[in-house]
Amino acid sequence: MSDIKLLDDPLMNAGNAARFEGISIPTMNRRIRTGDFPPPDYVHGQIRYWKRSTILAAREKRIAKYAAANELLRETQLANAARARAGRGRAAKPE
């Protein structure tokens, strides 16, 4: 188990967390509602705080999710291309 020091894992408010992700606060709020962004680690009054490690873990999870979806799409595209090539070959040779 690794030790995380507070300086290595700073807290970010909503504005800083959104900037860190390169998105706006309304986009971040939508992603929280849909489950694509983690809920805050701490809430103090109306101010929400995320640990940087929480945001990075969610980013890695999102990258893996989209990479798997892209791989599935690529396999489908290759299968469709092979089927199209085979279809052209059958249509080109009248018997």
Q: From the first residue on, what is the mean pLDDT of each consecutive set of 10 residues in the chain (95 residues)?
A: 64 95 96 94 95 93 90 87 78 48
Q: H or E element: which one contains 43? A: strand 42-44
Q: Tokens representing 24?
A: 């706006």
Task: Give me the residues paired with residue 49 across strands.
Answer: 13, 42
pLDDT, position 57: 92
pLDDT, position 94: 52
Secondary-structure percent of the chain, ordered helix, strand, coil, rounded to 5: 60, 10, 25
pLDDT, position 69: 86
pLDDT, position 82: 83
pLDDT, position 85: 81
Indicate the SS3 state at residue 6. coil
Task: Report how far residue 59's alpha carbon sits from residue 46's, in angstroms, rounded to the nearest whole number.
Answer: 24
Cβ neighbors of 36 (< 8 A, separation 6 or more) are 62
pTM, two decimals, is: 0.67
Q: Which domains does the chain have, with CATH numbers?
A: 11-92 (1.10.1660)
- Token match 């701490």: residue? 42
